[in-house]
């Protein structure tokens, strides 16, 4: 990577206290990028992530904020600017996945899902954009899902939001062409993290266990490190000509 790629740049990764987001901030910090670790409820995991970053010589800080709340989003970005004076990279990662069948959704659940999975991404961009426009190498990466490309069981609400993020990514890339800011999405398949489904009829599952049963789990799983590596590449000089794309990272799961 060239010097301009890492020279004291600053990144905000939403939902980065644990899991995929934590992997991304660890990779950024290992390359010299300063990071804001965003968490909502689980600060304990964020503290662990920060300790690992600092032990490795990286620079980061934690900001606890709900990305669905405009005032909290603004306060977080203000804190970044106050601390480091710039913002170059936004990675939209915070999302919820309530595993439900269509007839189990009520209006409140759909509204909540929309506010986080779509509204949170849009608000993050709106809040960060004045600072990204000042960066010589502005980058936006939206973590999306293969569920936005193909149907799966008991996941209609989440899939709808990820389908929307695919088009949001393309529209935003077009709008920001003149600013030299690239915008891309990663359509993530099953990843080796645990999450709570939000459905009392189900237990703790990996996303892989909620996808196609015809393929053994070991063939479908990607690691958080795989996601972090791809995000890092999309934010590098070498990826400067990749824009408005949705890059699939799923070991071929969408082909099944």
Contact 83, 5 (CB under 8 A): no
Residue among 63, 105, 121, 158 flagged as catalytic: 158
CA 20 – CA 98 distance, rounded (Å): 18
Q: Which residues pair with 139 in a beta bridge?
A: 89, 182
Told to judge if 158 belongs to the known catalytic residues of this protein, a careful annotator would answer yes
- DSSP annotation of 224: H
- DSSP annotation of 95: -
198-231 per-residue burial string, b: 16 or more CB within 10 A, e: under 16 = beeeeeeebbbebbeeebeeeebbbebebbbebb
Integer-rounded Cα radius of gyration of the chain: 17
Which residues have a catalytic role annotated?
158
């Amino acid at each position: 990577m060239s010097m301009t790629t890492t020279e004291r740049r600053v990144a905000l990764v939403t939902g980065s206290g644990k899991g995929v987001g934590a992997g991304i901030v660890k990779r950024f910090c290992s390359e010299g990028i300063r990071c804001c670790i965003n968490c909502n409820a689980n600060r304990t995991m964020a503290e662990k992530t920060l300790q690992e970053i600092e032990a490795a010589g990286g620079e980061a800080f934690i900001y606890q904020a709900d990305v669905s709340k405009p005032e909290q989003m603004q306060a977080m970005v203000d804190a970044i600017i106050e601390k480091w004076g710039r913002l170059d990279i936004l990675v939209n990662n915070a999302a919820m996945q309530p595993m439900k069948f269509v007839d189990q959704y009520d209006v409140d659940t759909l509204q909540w899902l929309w506010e986080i999975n779509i509204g949170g991404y849009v608000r993050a961009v709106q809040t960060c954009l004045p600072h990204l426009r000042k960066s010589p190498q502005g980058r936006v990466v939206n973590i999306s899902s293969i569920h936005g490309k193909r149907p799966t069981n008991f996941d209609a609400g989440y899939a709808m939001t990820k389908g929307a993020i695919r088009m949001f990514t393309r529209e935003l890339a077009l709008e920001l062409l003149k600013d030299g800011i690239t915008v891309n999405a990663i359509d993530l398949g099953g990843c080796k993290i645990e999450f709570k489904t939000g459905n009392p009829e189900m237990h703790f599952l990996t996303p892989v266990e909620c996808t196609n049963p015809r393929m053994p789990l070991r063939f479908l799983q990607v690691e958080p490190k795989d996601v972090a590596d791809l995000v890092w590449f999309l934010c590098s000089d070498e990826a400067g000509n990749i824009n408005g794309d949705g890059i699939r990272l799923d070991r071929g799961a969408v082909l099944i």
